Amino acid sequence: MTEMDVRSQTAAVIPAFNDEKHIGDIVRRTRERLDHVLVIDDGSSDQTAQCAREAGAEVIVHSENRGKGEAIKTGLGHWLDQEVTWVTLLDSDGQHLPEEIDRFLSAAGSATRPTFFIGTRMNNVAGMPLIRRVVNRYMSGRISRLCGQEIPDTQCGYRMLDRQLIPELLGGSHRFDYETEVLIIASRKGYRVESVPITTVYTDQVSKIHPVRDAIRFFKLMRRYRSIGA
């Protein structure tokens, strides 16, 4: 399959929460690469939904904030019965460059087996704060062992997946730990997790991750899947 074939069969899901400052630009740049762009406004109190629509995205609005995991599941569920083969996930705050969707499309065009693509920032960590680099490597090592394959940057939300995997991903966690759970599920369903190099970008957005609360969720998730086994 050529990159052009993959492009025509790919849709984007962009979960967003109070990102009116960036979402319009992200949508416009994504639509330069993909015809189908869906924004999930996860209970924003600002003009995120309006800005996304004005930029050309289809928008689904959650009446209240449900968490990033639920926003992603809403987006994946939307594309499940549509004429698409691939779904790309990227963040709304500018940390993921829409221009680098092309790297995922190229990788998907070369795939010869069921593959889940995930961005990696670990090839060039010069712009990554030291504490984030250390935590990322620690968590990625733990998750890689649980998945049974090497995943250098498990915390990266820039991803691309086969629509056939979507039904397996509509349950589970609700918030940021969902992105970890997805990797475990894909691995246990026989998908190869392939890393795609992306640029490390940090914007003026304040992280929505709660260090203590989300760390507890992460360790609970790890314990649950270790007890389940392969």
- The residues, any chain, with a CB within 8 Å of residue 138's CB and separated by 6 or more, are none
The 10s digit of each residue's pLDDT in 214-227 is 567 666 766 777 76
Q: How far is CA 157 from CA 4, 47, 80, 177, 200, in A?
A: 24, 23, 20, 11, 12
Query: Which pLDDT score is estimated for 173?
Result: 72
Angle, CA of 98, 121 and 125, to the nearest 5°? 130
Q: Whose CA is closest to 14, among 68, 90, 82, 84?
A: 90
Contact 158, 100 (CB under 8 A): yes
Dihedrals φ, ψ of 193, to 5°?
Answer: -100, 110
Give the model's pLDDT for residue 126.
65
The C-alpha atoms of residue 196 and residue 24 are separated, in whole angstroms, by 25
pLDDT at 222: 67
> Could you tell me the pTM of the whole model?
0.88
Q: CB neighbours of 30 closer than 8 A, spacing ≥ 6?
A: 12, 14, 37, 57, 90, 98, 101
- Rounded to a whole number, what is the distance in angstroms from the first to the last CA of the chain? 32
Alpha helices in 35-176 (DSSP H): 48-54, 68-80, 101-110, 130-147
Six-digit token string for 131: 């504490």
Low-confidence ranges of the chain (pLDDT < 70): 125-128, 174, 176, 203-215, 217-219, 221-222, 227-230
Return the DSSP state at 205. Answer: P
Give the pLDDT score at 171.
87
**Quick one: tokens of 29?**
């740049």
Handedness of CA 30, 31, 35, 40 (dihedral sign): positive
What type of residue sits at position 184? I
